[in-house]
Amino acid sequence: MRGLWGVTVAMAASSCGAGTSGPSQVVETVDGEAVLDTASEEADLETEEVDAPIGEADAAIQEVDATPEAIDDAPSPTGWFTQVMPWDEPVDHLAPHARSAAMIAALAERGGWGNSNRFQIDFSITVLEADAATPLRDFEPNGDFYEGDCDHVPVPVPAGGALEGEDGYACEGDGDCHLIVKTPDTLYEMWRAHIDDAGFSGGCLAVWDLRRSWPESLRGEGCTSADAAGLPIAPLLFTADEVAAGEIGHAIRFILPNSRIAHRQYVRPATHATGAASAQTDGMPYGVRLRLRADFPEAELPSEGARVVARALKRYGMILADGGQIALTAKRDRDDGPRWEDLLGPRDLVALAVEDFEVVDMGEPFDWTGDCQRNP
């Protein structure tokens, strides 16, 4: 199987929408301090337009033949795509990047993780399930929809669902308000969705055909998704079911404040970066993969759930996908099944310092020009 990263291992990144991060959102407080703020550090909004118009061919989900640079088409072990994707590959056997120490030191010098340099967990992203009976709804693009990068097609909207950080479909907290819906064959992910009695408006929608043989450039070189790195969100979330079962079999989505992210640069598996990211030297590019050091004493962590996550961070690492304050992202336990309150708390991993991680070897960075070249 050829390397999924294009070289040895490559990594990707981007930020919510085509180069923006949403306003602040506080979902929970612990000891009087904000814990689940999933928005950007400075709430800097950038609306860089792309020139390529969206057409019917871009908006449709189409089957394509595998190419020499297509990702291997073996079934994904995590049950999302029908092929192994980059985040499904373990990286515990790979060498650190040649500049790993310098990049880690630069991240620590810039303030480390967001939210006062605490390695915390956001549990606010809801993933909904839909089937053939679920009604499809048209939406009106809002200012966070980017022509060329984003898909404008009807979206299945299950009854009784909710957006990220909300109890329903109205984006009342002015956060990222991701709408994520999975059907048996398709994953719909939208940034800045809002549905009320007046209608349905939405920002960037990325539609992922779960049966497709995806190339290394995924939806397209230079193209964003519902996350800044151009990656899907749901397959990189870890779940209460996985933690309860004792194993997370994939890399985990993580985020950093914009001041720690490399300006306009990304590495595989990412396809997009942003101008809002402002680190000029040794910044973390979108798509970068960090791995917890093998000798980290996971037995000292306060819960078995925390130890399960730590083992995944050692074996699969975490991929920089967006800009914001809370480092790790888990799937909300809104459905029946194991509950986070019985498994893991938002601060169970605060012992993990920036210096406990290393940068996995990665390919050469891409410069993001603002031009999205969508794959057919």
- 110-151 tens-digit pLDDT: 999 999 999 999 999 999 999 999 999 999 999 999 999 999
State the Cα–Cα distance between residues 349 and 328, nearest whole angstrom: 10
Contacts of 242 (CB under 8 A, 6+ apart): 248, 249, 308
Residues in the chain: 376
CB 126 within 8 A of CB 163: yes
pTM: 0.83
- 198-235 tens-digit pLDDT: 999 999 999 999 999 999 999 999 999 999 999 999 99
State the Cα–Cα distance between residues 373 and 221, nearest whole angstrom: 5
What mean pLDDT is predicted for residues 339-360? 98
- % of the chain exceeding 70 in pLDDT: 80
CB 179 within 8 A of CB 126: no
State the Cα–Cα distance between residues 328 and 319, nearest whole angstrom: 10
CB 361 within 8 A of CB 291: no
CB 154 within 8 A of CB 122: no
State the Cα–Cα distance between residues 76 and 56, nearest whole angstrom: 29
- State the pLDDT confidence band at 40, using cuts at 50, 70 and 90: very low
Looking at every residue in the chain, the average pLDDT score rounds to 85
State the Cα–Cα distance between residues 18 and 356, nearest whole angstrom: 31
- Can you say how many angstroms the Cα of residue 80 is from the centroid of all Cα atoms in its chain? 14
- 1-32 tens-digit pLDDT: 333 333 333 333 333 444 444 333 334 444 44
- Neighbouring C-beta atoms of residue 98, cutoff 10 Å: 11
